[in-house]
A and B are shown apart, each in its own frame.
Chain A
Amino acid sequence: EVDLVESGGGLVQPGESLRLSCTASGFRFDRRAMHWVRQAPGKGLEWVSGIGVSAGPTKYAASVQGRFTISRDNSKNTLFLKMDSLRAEDTAVYYCVKGRGVLVLGAFDYWGQGIMVTVSS
């Protein structure tokens, strides 16, 4: 059974940094693209970033380009999202998401339970 468990969320002030982690199990982690998708309170879904099977390529939404960095450690079945220069508009539930295939572009077949990130002074 596929399981994706996020950690590292919380409350931070504007301009601060945070690193999210996602531990995966139940599938060959090194053979699937992985993503982060977020959902602001009461809003829709926004794709944030994706990464290919061998730590590349990496893709970002325009709203986070240059501030967020996605990475993965295939030896530990773990996905990361380093978030710098956080803004109030980054406040959201962040989901760790498994891609259906090896390409960064594609549908998402499993989602974690999500973790809340709140940016507020």
Chain B
Amino acid sequence: DLQMTQSPSSLSAFVGDRVTIACRASRDIGTALAWYQQKPGKSPRLLIYGASILQSGVPLRFSGSGSGTEFTLTVATLQAEDVATYFCQGYSSGFQTFGQGTKAEI
């Protein structure tokens, strides 16, 4: 089995702040990690895959890092439109597991 644990579960920040969300895997998954953004009432959107590869069309203020069991999503300068819930997803050895989500507020 594969468990993904995100922290914090929620955060509040100001426009322009640098925001960091952590995701921990229960075992080594290399760089098999994706990040998604889900705005209220909308479908999720892929932001990052392969732990650090920015999906086409995603603003450059979003970045991902990490490998093994520890991963981070960073928003360099938080914008009002970034209000959303963010999910990490590990995909390794037959498992596809999401973290519980981090709700970001302004």
Contacts and interface: CB of A to CB of B under 8 A. Distances in A.
- B91, B97, B99: residue with the most chain A Cβ atoms closer than 10 Å: B91
B87 interface: yes
A105 B50 CA distance: 12
B85 to A, nearest CB: 8
Interface residues on A, range: 10 to 19
Q: Dominant SS at the A interface?
A: strand
B55 A109 contact: yes
B20 interface: no
Given A44-B87, A113-B43, A114-B43, A107 B34 contact: yes
A27 to B, nearest CB: 13
A44 B94 contact: no
B8 to A, nearest CB: 15
Given A45-B44, A111-B44, A112-B43, 7 more contacts: A45-B87, A46-B98, A47-B97, A105-B32, A107-B50, A107-B91, A109-B46
